Amino acid sequence: MAKLIIDGGHALSGSINVGGNKNAVLPMMAACLLTDELCVLTNVPSIQDVAVMAELLSGIGVEVAGVGSGSLRIRAKTVDPLKLDQDLVAQLRASVLFFGPLLARTSSVSMRHPGGCIIGRRGIDTHIEALDALGATLTIERGMYHVATDHLQGTSLFLSETSVTGTENALMAAVTAKGHTVIRNAASEPHVQALCRFLNAMGGNIQGIGSNVLTIDGVDALHGTSMDVPPDHIEVGTWIVAAAVTKGDVEITGVNIGDLEKILLTYRAFGVTIDAQGNTLHVHPSELHAVRKVETNVWPGFPTDLMSVTVTLATQVSGTTLCHDWMYEGRMFFVDKLIQMGANIILSDPHRALVTGPTPLRGKDIDSPDLRAGMALILAALSASGQSTIERAELIDRGYEKVDERLRSLGGHVERVDD
């Protein structure tokens, strides 16, 4: 267990470099199961989810080196799916990504329901439907999913929802399946695109990258490769909000502008002054005002993973903003903690919060309910007067690398205490 002690009211300033994309590196790590040759991933964020994913891989016989160093060397020379650690599966939502590659590599996999943040219903129906279309069968026994196949066969399928991890599992199962596969209603987020490029670098044949229709011609085998993990656009959005709510002046380096169009459009609509040049953003102190509505959507819409920090932003702008996340019915339940800090928020229903600002926030002792809400509470504490304590900070470690150190480098008064 860990907690962060934050003295608020200090403007952030300086330069910060964006880390590797959490939601890209995890499926790329899983994809390494598709070859017995060495794969090297660089620009890997040192976060808890990567450490757990590496432990899961090691447990089934995969050689993993470099955890915490920024560079991973993964070689799945031998794989034993029967040794998949179900306790670790329960800790990590991304463990669901083992279905596709293990099915392709070993023809069977057994797994309990994957864990992760509790932000609403997160079923795996889309995954199972896609794998079934490719030739797999499912049985459920005593809370365990057992998926097996005689052989995977290319097919045409339409995903019942635009699921990121469902798309990724279908891709990893189809890339070495016999024949031609078409995935319609596929997710197209930057991390899905990164997985496609990684699979192609391993020898796969995937077309339509960045669109909602992916075509895959199965290949006999994949080989090892090396690739950089792309920058995390969710982290970019987080640092933009951190600068805005503290009235700071922050330079964000190492960004991919092409991943930020809707994010920049949304935050500029709030009045945040953002200059973009090359792979660098500069966020200036700004006069902030409300927007009528911020609504999440599938890519290239506004990302659900930025809604929590956007609610914090809305508490510090002039006027009333409707924040609507239709994807997860638990996303908004952290707002009671912002209300304790002095925010003026009406929770209309599980998906919508009406936020009126600006409201001066006061430091409080609060706990982090999940990764994204935890970061939103950190930003609230940075903008608040007085001292706050954020309990269960280890949840935030799942997706943000050394968040206390990086905030201190920008002048934030943040101390970490590990119990």
370 a catalytic residue: no
36 a catalytic residue: no
402 a catalytic residue: no
83 a catalytic residue: no
Question: What token pair was written down for 329?
Answer: 């019915």
Task: From the candidates 3, 247, 331, 398, give the one annotated as an active-site residue.
Answer: 398
DSSP class per residue in 66-114:
-TTTTEEEEE-SS--GGG--HHHHTT-GGGGGGHHHHHHHHSEEEEE--
Residues pairing with 367 in the sheet: 391
Task: From the candidates 17, 73, 85, 122, give the one annotated as an active-site residue.
Answer: 122
Task: From the candidates 117, 370, 404, 406, give the one annotated as an active-site residue.
Answer: 117
Task: From the candidates 21, 23, 43, 169, give the one annotated as an active-site residue.
Answer: 23
117 a catalytic residue: yes
Q: Treating both helix axes as pointing N-terminal to C-terminal, what angle do 164-174 and 190-201 enclose, rounded to 10 degrees?
A: 10
Task: From the candidates 22, 75, 93, 406, give the one annotated as an active-site residue.
Answer: 22
Cα–Cα nearest to 173, from 157, 162, 161, 160:
157
∠ CA 384-385-386, nearest 5°, is: 115
H or E stretch covering 195? helix 190-201
How many residues are there in the chain? 419
Local structure of 288: helix, strand or coil: coil
372 a catalytic residue: no
Task: From the candidates 49, 232, 259, 305, give the one annotated as an active-site residue.
Answer: 305
Question: What token pair was written down for 418?
Answer: 């590990």
Report the catalytic residues: 22-23, 117, 122, 305, 398
